[in-house]
Structures are given as structure tokens and as C-alpha cells.
């Protein structure tokens, strides 16, 4: 079973996406911000297969989380999907090392397709 770390500060979005991913057979870890995500990773025995993170969050945003992941040899190869309501160019000014970008709002089929495609590559 593939594990996905879902990092989203909007409770409703996190709950819906988490449920959808679980219905698809994924194990889902949820965190409300980048700092909480790093703590969850430290608690896990095995790194997740994918990180899906929001761009704008309190405490530690998606860019801060992504940079922390890339700086740690244990997590540097985890693919990252970045999500945001802002245009992708705004995100790319600060960080480009993600495998997919989803602009909110996005469709559930598109989301699931991107997740499945990325996980099938790994």
C-alpha cells in the first residue's frame, strides 16, 4: 500500500482529499502545516511515497516544507505535488523541484490521475 503525506491547512479540503485517497486504497497521513508534516515524517518508520502539499500555510509553508525535504537525505527523493490557488509562476519564483502543480480548485479525477501517474513511476 502506497503512503501519501497530505499537508493542507484548510480542514475541509484535507478531510475530503484524505477520504478520496483512502477510498482509492492509499494510506494517508495528514498534517495541517509544514512543521507538523516534518514531525509526522520523523515519527514514521518509512518515508511516504508522495507528499501532496498546499503552498500557502501558517507556521511553515509548502516551500519551506519542500526545501526541508530536499535537504534531508532520507526524504530528498520523495516526489512532491504542490497545490495552490495562486498561479504556478508565483510558486516557481521560489521553488521548482516538484513533480506536479495543481491549481485550486481542481477536479477530483485530475487529482487522482496525477497521484496515480506519479506513484506508478516510482
pLDDT tens for residues 11-34?
999 999 999 999 999 999 999 999
Please give the share of the chain, as a percent, with pLDDT higher than 70.
99
Residues 87 and 116: beta-carbon distance below 8 Å: no
**pTM higher than 0.75:** yes
Q: Are 17 and 111 in contact (CB under 8 A)?
A: yes
d(CA 113, CA 107): 10
pLDDT tens digits, one per residue of 19-73: 999 999 999 999 999 999 999 999 998 899 999 999 999 999 999 999 999 999 9
State the pLDDT at residue 45. Answer: 83
Q: Which fold has domain 3-108?
A: Rossmann fold (3.40.50)
What are the residue boundaries of the structural domains of the chain, listed by start?
3-108
Q: Are 85 and 22 in contact (CB under 8 A)?
A: no
| Residue 23 backbone zone (phi > 0: left; psi -120 to 50: alpha; other: beta) | alpha
pLDDT band of residue 122 (cuts 50, 70, 90) is low
The pair phi, psi for residue 9, each rounded to 5°, is -85, -15
pLDDT at 79 over 80: yes
Amino acid at each position: 500500500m502506497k503512503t501519501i503525506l497530505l499537508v493542507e491547512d484548510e480542514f475541509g479540503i484535507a478531510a475530503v482529499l484524505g477520504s478520496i485517497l483512502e477510498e482509492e486504497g492509499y494510506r494517508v497521513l495528514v498534517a495541517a502545516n509544514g512543521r507538523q508534516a516534518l514531525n509526522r515524517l520523523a515519527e514514521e518508520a518509512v518515508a511516504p511515497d508522495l507528499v501532496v502539499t498546499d503552498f500557502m500555510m501558517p507556521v511553515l509553508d509548502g516551500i519551506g516544507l519542500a526545501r526541508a525535504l530536499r535537504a534531508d537525505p532520507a526524504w530528498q527523493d520523495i516526489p512532491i505535488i504542490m497545490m495552490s490557488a495562486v498561479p504556478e509562476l508565483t510558486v516557481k519564483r521560489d521553488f521548482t523541484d516538484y513533480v506536479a502543480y495543481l491549481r485550486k480548485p481542481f477536479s477530483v479525477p485530475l487529482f487522482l490521475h496525477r497521484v496515480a501517474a506519479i506513484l506508478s513511476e516510482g
